């Protein structure tokens, strides 16, 4: 079994980006600037955004965190988005999801200038991705592709089963794995809450990408020998014995599934760190496209 070490690969990518930034500085060019809007006080979202800001510092990007209260109206958020769209200093920005109930997420994501949409969530960018056009690929799926690429995991002709159809991970991942090229050229099955007899499907999979958010859902009996496992789950499970009072738990029963797998991502330290590295990569791309 080979561990797909997202912590190591994301560090390599950050070093590569830091080197690009260093060259920009030497040439007197403006460094990339990422902004993140966070609405409300969700603990996990605050942690993710703080990690994104820290990663910007690490590679030499400028960053701006925009905090808005839980009672922010849709209009107020749309005004802030327009301000960032118009701000020439900002190369790319994200709106951390989920948003509070009073705000229509689709409407908000459609208000982002597609050229600054480093999350790749705007319908124009999502459509371009589906049509094999060059664009911003959502950071988590992009990170998974990068992991498969850097570990030379064969995807051509393989049966890839995606668990979950979220707009952020499952849906784009199912499109990307079936695209022409590498990583891609897989035969893809997407499963979701209405899928019947999921074990029958997962047990035929060469590659399983699980983005369900149910801790330890995928058991050893559900997979075949030599399967490739990508675990996107990051659920906080209460654990009084840990210093934070919780542990981050994946969708996969790692202890038992890893004994059958050829490649597997750990949680934490697998897909999670890759997401942040690829957001930086998209921001670098946005900066290059704008200048």
Active site residues: 52, 96, 119
- Provide the minimum distance between the beta carbon of 105 and ligand GUN in the complex, in angstroms, as a whole number: 10
What's the min distance (Å) between Cβ of 176 and ligand GUN? 15
Burial class of residue 57 in the structure, from the number of CB atoms within 10 Å of its CB (0-12 exposed, 13-18 middle, 19+ buried): exposed
Nearer to ligand GUN, 3 or 44 (CB): 44
Nearest approach in angstroms of CB 169 to ligand GUN is 8
Q: Measured from the CB atom, is 5 or 119 closer to ligand GUN?
A: 119
Identify which of residues 140 and 202 has a Cβ nearer to ligand GUN in the complex: 140
Decide: 251 and 231 in contact? Cβ < 8 Å. yes
- Least spacing, CB of residue 52 vs ligand GUN, in Å: 9
Q: Is 13 annotated as a binding residue?
A: no
Closest separation between CB of residue 187 and ligand GUN, Å?
26
Backbone phi, then psi, for 42, in 5-degree steps?
-60, 125
User: Is 174 annotated as contributing to ligand binding?
Assistant: no
Shortest distance, CB of residue 211 to ligand GUN, whole angstroms?
10
Residue ranges binding ligand GUN (CB under 6 A): 94-97, 119, 139-140, 168, 275
| Annotated binding residue 230 | no
Cα distance between residue 90 and residue 96, in whole Å: 16
DSSP characters over the chain = -EE--HHHHHHHHHHHHHHHHHHHHHTTPPPPEEEEEEES--HHHHHHHHHHHHHHHHHT-EEEEEEE-TT--HHHHHHHHHHHHH-TT--EEEE-SSPPTTS-HHHHHHTS-GGGBTT--SHHHHHHHHTT-S-PPPHHHHHHHHHHHHTT---TT-EEEEE---TTTHHHHHHHHHSSSSS---EEEEE-TT-S-HHHHHTT-SEEEE----TT-B-GGGS-TT-EEEE---EEEE-TTSTTSEEEE-SB-HHHHTTT-SEE--SSSSHHHHHHHHHHHHHHHHHHHH-
The annotation status of 178 as a binding-site residue, yes or no, is no
The phi and psi torsions of 164 (rounded to 5 degrees) equal: 110, 140
Show binding-site residues for NADP(+).
Answer: 164-166, 234
């Amino acid at each position: 079994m080979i561990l797909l070490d997202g912590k190591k690969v994301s560090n390599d990518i950050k070093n590569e980006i830091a080197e690009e930034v260093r060259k920009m500085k030497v040439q007197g060019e403006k460094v990339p600037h990422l902004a993140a809007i966070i609405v409300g006080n969700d603990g996990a979202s605050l942690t993710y955004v703080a990690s994104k800001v820290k990663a910007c510092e690490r590679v030499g990007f400028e960053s701006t965190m925009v905090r808005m209260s839980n009672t922010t109206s849709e209009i107020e958020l749309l005004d802030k988005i327009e301000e960032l769209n118009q701000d020439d200093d900002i190369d790319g920005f994200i709106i951390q999801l989920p948003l509070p109930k009073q705000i229509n997420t689709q409407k908000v994501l459609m208000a982002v200038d597609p050229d600054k949409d480093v999350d790749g969530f705007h319908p124009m960018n999502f459509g371009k991705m589906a049509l094999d056009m060059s664009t911003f690929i959502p950071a988590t799926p992009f990170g998974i592709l990068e992991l498969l690429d850097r570990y030379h995991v064969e995807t051509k002709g393989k049966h890839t089963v995606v668990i979950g159809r979220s707009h952020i991970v499952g849906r784009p991942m199912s499109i990307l794995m079936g695209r022409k090229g590498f990583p891609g050229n897989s035969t893809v099955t997407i499963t979701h809450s209405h899928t019947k007899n999921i074990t029958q499907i997962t047990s035929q999979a060469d590659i399983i990408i699980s983005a369900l958010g149910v801790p330890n859902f995928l058991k050893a009996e559900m997979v075949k020998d030599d399967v490739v496992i990508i675990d996107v789950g990051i659920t906080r499970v209460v654990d009084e014995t840990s210093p934070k009072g919780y542990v981050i738990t994946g969708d996969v029963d790692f202890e038992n599934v890893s004994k059958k797998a050829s490649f597997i991502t750990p949680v934490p330290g697998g897909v999670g760190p890759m997401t942040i590295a690829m957001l930086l990569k998209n921001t670098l791309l946005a900066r290059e496209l704008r200048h």
